[in-house]
Amino acid sequence: MALPDIQPSRYGELLATKVAGVKAQFSAFSLPEIEIFDSPKSHYRLRAEFRVWHDGDDLYYVMFEPGDNKNPIRLDECAMVSPRIHEVMFELIEVIKANPAIRFKLFQVDFLSTLSGELLVSLLYHRPIDDEWKEAIQPLRERFGIDVVGRSRKKKLIVDRDFVMEILTINGREYLYKQVENSFTQPNGIVCQKMIEWALDITKDATDDLVEFYCGSGNFTLPLAQNFRRVVACEISKTSVRAAEENIELNNIDNLTILRMPSEDLTAVLQGKKDTRKVAGLDLDSCQFSTVLVDPPRSGLDDETIKQVKLYDSIVYISCNPETLNENLASITETHRIERFAVFDQFPYTHHLECGVYLVRK
| b (16+ CB within 10 A) / e for 236-252 | bbebbbbbbbbbbebbe
Catalytic residue among 192, 234, 320, 355: 320
Catalytic residue among 181, 235, 354, 355: 354
Tell me whether residue 320 is one of the annotated catalytic residues.
Answer: yes
Tell me whether residue 354 is one of the annotated catalytic residues.
Answer: yes
* Positions marked catalytic: 320, 354
